[in-house]
């Protein structure tokens, strides 16, 4: 199955589910507030449900300040919709067993939705520094590196957000910076202006692709990033202060990582840069000391952290193999996808100190 067919199937399923959630939320709100379902009812559902995909399309084809604001509002609405869906679902379940006055339900649902939205927006705008020490054998010297992942530069997070990330990174004075995919979002046309702040990084920087670079098209991404200070690792390796850094492209092909690693002679100590989390036991079989990954966002917004954990057991944080010789660190992401919101997770810049075991 080729990429376009896969994307069409995924998009169709997403839009159907998204439309269904809108129907449930708008219907439940209309019933709760005793609003008649007149001729505007179904058009309203269609308008709300189409706002996000339409905003992406407009922003891609005819970007402007208005299109960016439209995209920001529609992306934020996705988060609000999720909270309303969960709150209304809980209310309808409780209403089967309990007598809940309508006025009390109205105030409670709207209040919770407002609080969750405001908190998530504030939390989603902040960037925290997360520090971790990782012991590693055969190190020549301690290395201080910063991992950035899932920045998602695009319509919602623009060049100013990237400037903030670069400034915070430089303040940490790392020896090297690692970007483990999804630097770009794909919601806006890529330009040198939007990505240019990355050149202000003081330390050398390595980059591997994520799924959003894959969707955007590797050729377009590489053409743009070749004019930056980033060193692109495309199924290749580089040595930094005696450590072998292995960079593998994102791919949806089965066994892609395994087949790619067969073509690279792995040395010690070694760090794998690959967007998707694997697991420490797998790394141990490949004699790889450490993997740096991202992709999961730790679910970004509750309850997606539960689903992310099911899809990726090593969903966020540090994990070690049984023999203690291999480990993986999975970033929650430095930015956000879709709604600029976070609940049960946070944006992180990760300061990692590699220390001699």
Does 169 share its domain with 304?
Answer: yes
Alpha carbons 69 and 57: distance in angstroms, whole number: 14
Alpha carbons 163 and 91: distance in angstroms, whole number: 43
CATH of the domain at 314: 3.60.21.10
Q: Which domain holds residue 183?
A: 129-356
CB 324 within 8 A of CB 103: no
Count of domains forming the chain: 2
Which domain-ending residue is among 124, 144, 170? 124
Does 223 share its domain with 337?
Answer: yes
Alpha carbons 34 and 38: distance in angstroms, whole number: 12
Average pLDDT of 89-105? 91
Does 187 share its domain with 308?
Answer: yes
Does 312 share its domain with 189?
Answer: yes
Radius of gyration of the chain (CA): 22
Does 331 share its domain with 352?
Answer: yes
Residue 1 has pLDDT above 60, yes or no: no
Among 18-22, 114-118, 261-265, name the one with the lowest average pLDDT.
Answer: 261-265
Q: What is the mean pLDDT of the chain?
A: 93
- pLDDT at 320 (0 to 100): 96
Which domain-ending residue is among 124, 141, 160? 124
Percent of residues, the chain, with pLDDT higher than 90: 74
Does 158 share its domain with 267?
Answer: yes
- pLDDT at 78 (0 to 100): 96
Q: Which residue has the higher pLDDT, 325 or 352?
A: 352
> pLDDT band for position 357 (50/70/90)?
confident
Percent of residues, the chain, with pLDDT higher than 70: 98
Does 105 share its domain with 238?
Answer: no
Strand partners, 244: 239, 270
Does 137 share its domain with 118?
Answer: no
pLDDT digits (tens, 9 = 90+) for 217-236: 888 889 889 889 999 999 99
Angle, alpha carbons 8-305-295 (nearest 5°): 55
pLDDT digits (tens, 9 = 90+) for 119-177: 999 999 999 999 999 999 889 899 999 999 999 999 899 899 999 999 999 999 999 99
Does 240 share its domain with 292?
Answer: yes
Which domain-ending residue is among 68, 91, 124? 124
Q: What is the dihedral of CA 54, 57, 59, 62, to 10 degrees?
A: -110
Does 84 share its domain with 229?
Answer: no
pTM: 0.92
* 143: region left, alpha or beta (phi > 0 left; psi from -120 to 50 alpha): beta
At residue 32, φ and ψ (nearest 5 deg) are -65, -40
The DSSP call for residue 331 is -
Does 99 share its domain with 162?
Answer: no
CA distance readout (Å), 64 to 76, 133, 252, 268, 335: 18, 44, 33, 49, 22
Does 247 share its domain with 343?
Answer: yes
13 Cβ neighbours under 8 A, 6+ residues apart: none
Residue 355 has pLDDT above 80, yes or no: yes
Average pLDDT of 273-288? 95
Residue with tokens 């299109």: 67
CB 153 within 8 A of CB 333: no
């Amino acid at each position: 199955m080729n990429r376009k067919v896969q994307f069409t199937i995924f998009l169709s399923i997403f839009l159907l589910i998204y439309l269904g959630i809108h129907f449930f939320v708008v219907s439940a709100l209309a019933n709760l507030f005793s609003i008649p379902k007149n001729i505007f009812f179904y058009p309203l559902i269609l308008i709300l449900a189409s706002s996000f995909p339409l905003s992406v399309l407009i922003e891609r084809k005819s970007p402007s300040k208005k299109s960016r604001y439209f995209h920001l509002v529609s992306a934020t609405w996705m988060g609000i919709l999720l909270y309303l869906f969960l709150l209304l679902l809980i209310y309808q379940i409780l209403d089967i067993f309990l007598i809940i006055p309508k006025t009390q339900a109205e105030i409670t649902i709207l209040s919770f939705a407002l609080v969750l939205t405001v908190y998530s927006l504030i939390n989603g705008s902040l960037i925290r520094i997360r520090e971790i020490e990782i012991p590693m054998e055969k190190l020549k010297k301690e290395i201080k590196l910063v991992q950035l992942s899932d920045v998602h530069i695009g319509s919602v997070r623009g060049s100013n957000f990237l400037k903030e990330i670069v400034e915070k990174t430089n303040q940490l004075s790392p020896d090297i910076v690692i970007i483990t995919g999804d630097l770009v979002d794909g919601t806006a046309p890529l330009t040198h202006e939007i990505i240019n702040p990355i050149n202000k990084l003081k330390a050398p920087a390595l980059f591997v692709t994520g799924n959003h670079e894959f969707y955007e098209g590797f050729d377009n991404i590489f053409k743009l990033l070749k004019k930056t200070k980033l060193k692109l690792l495309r199924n290749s390796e580089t040595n930094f202060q005696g450590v072998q850094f292995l960079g593998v492209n994102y791919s949806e092909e089965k066994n892609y990582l395994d087949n790619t690693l067969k073509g690279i002679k792995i040395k010690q100590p070694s760090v794998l840069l690959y967007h998707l989390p694997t697991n420490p036991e797998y790394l141990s079989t490949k004699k790889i000391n450490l993997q740096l990954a991202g992709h999961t966002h730790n679910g970004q917004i509750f309850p997606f952290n539960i689903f992310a954990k099911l899809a990726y057991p090593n969903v966020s944080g540090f994990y070690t193999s049984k023999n203690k010789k291999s480990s993986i660190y999975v970033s929650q992401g430095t930015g956000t996808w879709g709604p600029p919101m976070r609940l049960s997770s946070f944006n992180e810049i990760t300061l990692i100190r590699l220390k001699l075991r």
